[in-house]
């Protein structure tokens, strides 16, 4: 068989992230970074307080919201996860593993389940089985399934990821067979029904490049649970089902005391036969199912319903599609996996919530088979819709190939960010025009390890993905934030940074987050325990900027009218931070913003660029809404602040980090024009910040933070000194924040620095995906070498801001 014909015959797309199944990444990093003594000394009291807080959390039976004691290290295995938005996800490795289960809201189980596999069986024209193999390069498990043949040669298989799809091609050269598994999940922009579906399709193409007809069977096996000890709790049972042209098996179980049913199924087609095995023991040697397939390439169903498992037992099921594949022909087998977990509860809550997909499929917990059939009936539409969405990017010859992979693959976090999407639970309290009546409530975690929903200072960066692709989700998130502003929670909280005792939520402030899934999110907000976030200088301003950006994106007058009273509220509070009445707010000499270990004193470039931008937005909204009093006030304040920003922070080349009386004030901060980024994204072209100063500052950032840091191969370091040395004042100043880099690249793109924008962004993508193997768990922070921090993080979704900037540029050019 010609090797080239293997590639040519595969339906794998040209673009995406691609590796062979035996791939080994050139560098393995960890979270074992140890700060210098200079960095540690100022936070020694914080460390002691954090340890006390952590012990208390574990004593109560829960992990801290940010666990710095038991950090996770990346596994260098992940590929495209499966599942829609807000319904739970199941991770998949690029070698075919089913792993990283996130079915309980906000809780991840990092288990690789050996029994969840695809198996191929090949029979010749004489009906003799000539080949049977688990389609995984992984070694045989230590105990179970020892009769199965493992270790498919990884060098003969290729994986390609372009979220929400992936393709894996297996070359069985000795039998002239090529297998391709096309995986597709329903993550479809502007589609809110199908995007909520908990399931995925696996479409297998079987190409016979030989001279004789062959029978080829593909078998999908799946077990109960998520790979932990709870799988052996007992009480699970399986039953086969048949719905029109779909046959399969359901696995009924409880996961973390919540009902969840898996369904695996396959479509009956004219050129194939479907058989099922209702149950087998995944803890056995697997001989029963293996020999069954060897005999005739089909499964013997046996009983249609299995007995319930006893404590210590597990159960698994299988679905097989047997194909006749003539010489030179290609046949297809279509499989689906769906799960029905309609009702959820949070750990410290007695409230029961319904997932959004129940709006369309019901909440009785009896529709796993219905969902399975829905996946098989609709995946072709999903492929068509996804291809239509992605084609404008993939067909753009002016965009680099690596970027096309980065853009779509980073979108994984929308579904795999511990995401919840709930039906309205407070409809009787909502105005008729409130979008939550129709679209419910949406939340995603700050990170896989930072267990807080809708962390707002970070969502500021990530929100471009929602605003561009699922604007109604961004809209309902904003309405939840709007309602939270006036709320107060007098519960006393020990702030670990300075040891003060503060109210958990202060009225008239934008919260840091909407809560911890281990408590009761949306009701108990501000789970973040480090600082009193009511004093943070960025949160209020980021609310204003997002309102303005969304208004410009959505073109919905009702939206901005609803937001306006809260915009006035938070801007009034922010004005009080201008203690010397020069027009600029002052930082309080603490890490009072998203860089929560990096102290800012007096006016700072980061917070004051947000302030000036927010003032511009506020006066613009006031003008639109004909609020003459507010327009007059904020116009005057804007003009004053704009002049003061240049006077106090411009140093002739860039904007100073802050106004402290120490050398750190002159640090070149990569994120110093964060406010301008939002203005440009919102279509503001007039000169808010002096254009020549902006160009000079961005050039300085590129020359120093990008090119003088690891020769421009890893993005932009957060802080660089004027002498070309990294600012080591805190761990965060020496980090590269992946999401900040994409946001910075977007601003560069807005300002016409196209080459510099792609150079800056490429460093992050290349290191994360190609060097350290952290794709689909992109960390918040990278260090110059050896280390990273906070795996699976929200902020890199800011890459869609770069795409937005590119699209605006193309419109101007054309």
Residue 110 is classified by DSSP as -
Q: 451 pLDDT band (50/70/90 cuts)?
A: very high
Contacts of 187 (CB under 8 A, 6+ apart): 84, 85, 163, 164, 195, 386, 411, 414, 415
Q: What does the pLDDT read at residue 752?
A: 97
Contact (CB, 8 A) for 467 and 553: yes
Q: What does the pLDDT read at residue 12?
A: 58
Task: Give which of 443, 605, 610 is closest to 522, Cα–Cα.
Answer: 443
Q: What does the pLDDT read at residue 5?
A: 35
Arithmetic mean of pLDDT, 181-204: 98
Q: What does the pLDDT read at residue 376?
A: 98
- Altogether, the residues listed in the chain come to a count of 814
Q: Is the pLDDT of residue 6 over 70?
A: no
Q: What does the pLDDT read at residue 404?
A: 98
Q: What does the pLDDT read at residue 2?
A: 40
* Tokens found for residue 422: 């709930």
Q: How far apart are CA 207 and CA 603, in angstroms?
A: 65
Contacts of 212 (CB under 8 A, 6+ apart): 124, 125, 327
pLDDT in tens, 671-704: 999 999 999 999 999 999 999 999 999 999 999 9
Q: Is 588 exposed, middle or buried (0-12, 13-18, 19+ CB in 10 A)?
A: middle
pLDDT in tens, 382-439: 999 999 999 999 999 999 999 999 999 999 999 999 999 999 997 788 999 999 999 9
pLDDT in tens, 549-560: 999 999 999 999
Residue 30 is classified by DSSP as B
The residues with which 65 forms a beta bridge, in sequence order, are none
Residue with the two structure tokens 């999401």: 739
Q: What does the pLDDT read at residue 8?
A: 35
Contact (CB, 8 A) for 673 and 697: yes
Q: Is the pLDDT of residue 471 over 70?
A: yes
pLDDT over 70 percentage in the chain: 99
pLDDT in tens, 575-590: 999 999 999 999 999 9
pLDDT in tens, 731-754: 999 999 999 999 999 999 999 999
Q: What does the pLDDT read at residue 271?
A: 86
Q: What does the pLDDT read at residue 10?
A: 38
Q: What does the pLDDT read at residue 7?
A: 29
Q: How far apart are CA 563 and CA 547, in angstroms?
A: 7
pLDDT in tens, 623-663: 999 999 999 999 999 999 999 999 999 999 999 999 999 99
Q: What does the pLDDT read at residue 743?
A: 98
The residues with which 261 forms a beta bridge, in sequence order, are 252, 340
Please tell me whether residue 505 adopts helix, strand or coil conformation: strand
Per the prediction, the chain carries an average pLDDT of 96
| pTM exceeds 0.95, yes or no | yes
């Amino acid at each position: 068989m010609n090797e080239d014909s293997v590639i040519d015959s595969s339906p794998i797309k040209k673009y995406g992230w691609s590796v062979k199944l035996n791939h080994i990444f050139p560098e393995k990093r960890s979270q074992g970074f140890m700060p210098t003594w200079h960095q540690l000394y100022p936070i020694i009291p914080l460390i002691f307080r954090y340890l006390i807080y952590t012990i208390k959390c574990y004593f109560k039976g829960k992990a801290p919201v940010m666990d710095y004691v038991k950090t996770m290290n990346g596994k260098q295995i992940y590929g495209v996860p499966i599942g829609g938005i807000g319904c739970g996800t199941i991770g998949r490795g690029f070698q075919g593993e089913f792993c990283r289960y996130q079915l309980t809201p906000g809780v991840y189980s990092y288990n690789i389940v050996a029994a969840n596999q695809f198996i191929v069986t090949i029979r010749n024209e004489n009906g003799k089985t000539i080949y049977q193999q688990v389609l995984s390069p992984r070694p045989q498990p230590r105990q179970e399934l020892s009769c199965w043949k493992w270790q498919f040669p990884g060098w003969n298989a290729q994986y390609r990821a372009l979220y929400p799809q992936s393709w894996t091609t297996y070359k069985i050269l000795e039998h002239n067979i090529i297998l391709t598994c096309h995986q597709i999940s329903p993550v479809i922009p502007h589609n809110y029904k199908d995007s909520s579906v908990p399931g995925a399709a696996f479409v297998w193409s079987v190409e016979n490049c030989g001279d004789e007809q062959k029978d080829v069977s593909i078998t999908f096996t799946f077990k109960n649970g998520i790979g932990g000890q709870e799988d052996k709790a007992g009480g699970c049972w399986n039953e086969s089902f048949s719905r029109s042209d779909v046959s399969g098996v359901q696995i009924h179980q409880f996961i973390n005391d919540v009902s969840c049913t898996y369904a695996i199924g396959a479509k009956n087609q004219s050129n194939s036969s479907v058989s099922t095995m209702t149950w087998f023991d995944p803890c056995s040697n697997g001989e029963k199912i293996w020999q069954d397939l060897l005999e005739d390439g089909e499964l013997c169903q046996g009983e249609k319903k299995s007995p319930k498992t006893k404590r210590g037992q597990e159960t698994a099921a299988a679905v097989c599609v047997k194909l006749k594949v003539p010489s030179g022909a290609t046949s297809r087998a279509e499989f689906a996996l769906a799960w029905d977990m309609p009702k959820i509860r949070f750990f410290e809550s007695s409230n029961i919530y319904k997932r959004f997909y129940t709006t369309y499929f019901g909440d009785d917990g009896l529709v796993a088979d219905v969902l399975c059939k829905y996946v098989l009936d609709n995946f072709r539409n999903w492929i068509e819709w996804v291809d239509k969405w992605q084609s404008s990017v993939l067909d753009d010859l002016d965009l680099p190939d690596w970027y096309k992979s980065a853009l779509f693959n980073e979108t994984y976090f929308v579904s795999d960010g511990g995401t919840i999407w709930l039906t309205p639970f407070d409809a009787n309290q909502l105005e008729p025009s409130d979008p939550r009546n129709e679209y419910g409530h949406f939340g995603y975690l700050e990170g896989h390890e930072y267990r807080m929903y809708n962390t707002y200072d970070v969502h500021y960066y990530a929100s471009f993905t929602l605003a561009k692709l699922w604007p109604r989700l961004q809209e309902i998130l904003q309405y939840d934030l709007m309602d939270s502003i006036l709320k107060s929670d007098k519960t006393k909280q020990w702030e670990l940074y300075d040891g003060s005792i503060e109210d958990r939520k202060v009225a008239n402030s934008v919260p840091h987050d909407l809560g911890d899934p281990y408590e009761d999110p949306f009701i108990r907000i501000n789970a973040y325990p480090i600082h009193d976030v009511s004093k943070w200088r960025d949160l209020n301003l980021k609310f204003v900027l997002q309102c303005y950006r969304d208004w410009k994106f959505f073109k919905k007058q009702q939206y901005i009218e609803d937001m306006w009273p809260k915009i006035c509220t938070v801007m009034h509070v922010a004005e009080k931070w201008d203690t010397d009445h020069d027009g600029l707010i002052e930082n309080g000499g603490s890490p009072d913003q998203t860089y929560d270990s990096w102290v800012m004193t007096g006016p700072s470039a980061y917070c004051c660029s947000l302030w000036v931008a927010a003032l511009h937005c506020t006066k613009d909204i006031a003008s639109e809404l004909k609020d003459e009093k507010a327009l007059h006030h904020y116009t005057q304040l804007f003009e004053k602040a704009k002049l003061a920003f240049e006077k106090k922070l411009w140093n002739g080349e860039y904007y100073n980090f802050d106004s402290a009386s120490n050398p750190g004030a002159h640090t070149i901060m990569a994120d110093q024009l964060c406010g301008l980024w939002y203005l440009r994204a919102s279509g503001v072209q007039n000169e808010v910040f002096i254009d020549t100063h902006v160009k000079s500052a961005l050039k300085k950032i590129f020359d120093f933070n990008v090119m003088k840091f690891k020769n421009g191969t890893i993005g932009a370091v957060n802080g660089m000194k004027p002498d070309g040395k990294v600012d080591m004042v805190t761990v965060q100043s020496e980090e590269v924040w992946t999401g900040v880099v994409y946001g910075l690249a977007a601003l560069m793109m807005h300002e016409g620095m196209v080459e510099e924008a792609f150079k800056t962004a490429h460093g992050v993508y290349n290191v994360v995906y190609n060097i350290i193997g952290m794709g689909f768990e992109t960390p918040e922070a990278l260090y110059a070498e050896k280390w990273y921090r906070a795996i699976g993080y929200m902020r890199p979704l800011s890459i869609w801001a770069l795409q937005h900037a590119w699209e605006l540029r193309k419109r101007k050019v054309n």
